[in-house]
Structure 1
Amino acid sequence: MAPNVAVLQNHGVPNSMILKMISGHSRTLKLNNSRFSEIVAMVKEMGFNPVKAHFILAVRVMSGMTKLNWEGKLEVYRSLGWSETEILSAFKWFPNHMLISEKKIMRGMDYFVTKMNCKPPFISKYPNILAFSLEKRIVPRCSVLQVLMSKGLIKKDLCLSPVLTASEKKFLEKFVIKNQERVPEILSVYQGKMELLG
């Protein structure tokens, strides 16, 4: 690991962050030195700050992928309408979105675009929402939003990201419990017991 630790130090990564990497993700530091050096240089060129935690996270993500896998994932996002700038911006904001399986990405994008009328550039600003379970979180919560929007109880331009990232308790309090009197079926919709029509 020593040569790779030296690479990080030479790029200005604080020792405290390197120690965390050694204790929690030592496998990354065991990568071939030339490949590791290449990845660190690429991450820095992308605009990541070596003193920030996202720098190490980006290195870890790229180290866990082959060049072929990386290029393949880039192609998936391009095919979905993301520009190179949007792909880079998404990676800088949420590096782990590059680890999401192609199938999960495609299903999530299809749902957001066809069911929620989201544009690809919007999703690229909040790539973390693609990491959530479609069945367990995205569909139940979006179904609730659709019902509330249809009844004029919430704005149609409501940002999805805070809704999907909110804790279960907060979501229930704000969108389900709060509206149960006006929309008695809202809990059944959330629990998937009532199919939405139209």
Structure 2
Amino acid sequence: SISKKVTFEEKRNPDSILNLLRIHGFTDPQISSIVTDYPRLFLLDPEKSLAPKLRFLQSRGASSSELTEIVSEVPEILGKDRSFSVYYDFVKEVIQADKSSSLEKLCHSLAQGSKQENKIRNLSVLRELGMPQQLLFPLLISNSPHVCGKEKFEESLKKVVELGFDPRTSKFVEALRIVYTLKKETMEEKVNVYKRLGFDEGDVWEMFKKWPISLTHSEKKIKQKFETLMKCGLVEDEVRLVCKKFPQVIGVSEEKIESSIETFLGIGLSRDEFAVMVKRYPACVGLARDTVKKKAEFLVKKMNWRLKELVSNSQVVGYSMEKRIVPRCNVIEALLSRGLLGSGVPSLSSVLVCTDQSFLNKYVRKHDDEQLVLELMDVFTGETRT
């Protein structure tokens, strides 16, 4: 049942809440979605908190379809007491994509200079920049200070826009939060930390664009990571190149990097080969030991590819076994069993590095036998025809 999706020791009578939602026109699928997205619903008092809000919205002329659509979209607004109706109206405005001035009216209905007024105004600006609903609505119901400020929000937003972040992405929100949170002097000092390690200022901001968290680490942590990456067999210039290519490597723990070295050497790579892998695919240092071993064993022992091919195509260790590696290799094995690959197993790169379209065109769709094409497609998708 729907109420079994959540278990809270303090939860109210779940049936009362579910019945209340049904009375107001919510369907079971909508209720199920609400409960999944906002399990704290069951902590609300159905008579003192939930019912008055629903009745209030209906008294303002909200139709049953409008009410259920908006609450289903952002059920967290039901937990808001102050400015509940303003939050509801904002969600309604965005969903309906109405370009009227009603958002300005929402701001006027709030106490001047209040956090709620700032939040609605700031989110309106983000919406005008093109930020989609799935990013706007979580900000609406959050208590994050970076969307409740005024002058500092404007300064932070200007900086993030100037850096070229796309407001349609979650990275924009993350960058805005970090720029807002860090003092100007702190941010300058973070940039200087990287410059002392040999990075140009332009490099630092490019790294920030790829991974905004890169400016939140302490000088000690950044230097430690630099030294740990050199244990992978890299010289300073190569460490800088790796960080510029994949700044997330700065967030990988020293223990994980050292474990990575041990893992890759354990599957037969030399230190020089591991250094090549890190330069070509820096994310490999963050992969779990079991993941690396499983993929290496499959590719080398089962498919008979050489380790050198894996080093040359380092990104392959980051591919999904279930979605990419196994389906394609199953097709290759099916072709081999039919004697349709005369020269043996094709190169690792020709099988795994290309796009799905290229792979299918090269190994499946090129055959004249339609039945064979169907069978190979079934092998690729994992389906069985009856």
TM-score range with shorter-chain normalisation?
0.7 to 0.9
Could you give the per-residue CA deviations for residues 21-48 of structure 1, whole angstroms, max 9, x where no partner exists? 23346322123x1111111111111111
Structure with max Cα Rg: 2
Q: Is the 8 A contact 1:40 1:59 kept in 2?
A: yes
CA contact (8 A) 1:86 1:121 kept: no
Aligned twin of 1:18: 136
**2:304 aligns to what?**
none
Choose between structure 1 and 2 for higher RCO, CA contacts under 8 A separated by at least 6 residues.
1
3-state SS of paired residue (2:189): helix
CA RMSD of aligned residues (A): 2.7
Query: 1:123 — aligned with what?
Result: 243
Q: Confirm whether residue 133 of structure 1 aligns to residue 250 of structure 2.
A: no
CA contact (8 A) 1:144 1:176 kept: no
Gaps of 5+ in 1: 180-198
Larger displacement relative to structure 2 (88-97 or 170-179): 170-179
Distance 1:144 1:55, change over 3 A: same
Letter in 2 for 1:171: V
After TM superposition, the structure 1 = structure 2 runs for residues 187-198 of structure 1, keeping only pairs within 5 Å, are: none
Q: Quote how far apart the aligned CAs of 1:101 are.
A: 2.1
The residue aligned with 2:276 is 157
Q: Which residue of 1 aligns with 2:223?
A: 106
When the two structures are superposed, what TM-score results if normalisation uses the length of structure 2? Answer: 0.41
Alignment match, 2:159:
42
Distance 1:63 1:71, change over 3 A: same
Matched letter for residue 55 of structure 1: F
Normalised by the length of structure 1, the TM-score is: 0.75
Q: Is the alpha carbon distance of 1:57 and 1:23 closer, same or farther for their aligned partners in structure 2, counting shifts above 3 Å?
A: same
CA distance in 2 between partners of 1:86 and 1:126 (Å):
12
Match for 1:108: what amino acid? K
Paired residues in the alignment total 176
How far, CA to CA, are the matches of 1:25 and 1:171 in structure 2? Answer: 40
Change (3 A) 1:156 1:127: closer
Matches of 1:56 and 1:63 in 2, distance apart?
11
CA distance in 2: counterparts of 1:27 and 1:158, whole angstroms: 41
Matched, 1:29 2:147: yes
In 2, Cα distance between the equivalents of 1:121 and 1:25? Answer: 38
Residues 73 and 146 of structure 1, relative CA distance in 2, 3 Å threshold = farther
The 2-side partners of 1:23 and 1:169 are apart by: 39
The C-alpha deviation readout for 1:91-116, integer Å capped at 9, x for no partner, is: 11111121122211110012213553
| Other structure's SS at 1:13 match | coil
Percent sequence identity is: 22
Measured in 2, the distance between the counterparts of 1:161 and 1:25 equals: 35
Q: Is residue 2:190 matched to residue 1:69? A: no
> SS at the partner of 1:77?
helix
CA distance in 1, matches of 2:136, 2:228: 39
Asked if the contact 2:232–2:275 (Cα under 8 Å) also holds between the matched residues in 1, the reply is: no
| Alignment partner of 1:85 is 2:202 | yes
CA contact (8 A) 1:149 1:156 kept: no
Shift of 1:151: 7.8
Query: Which deviates more, 35-44 or 109-118?
Result: 109-118
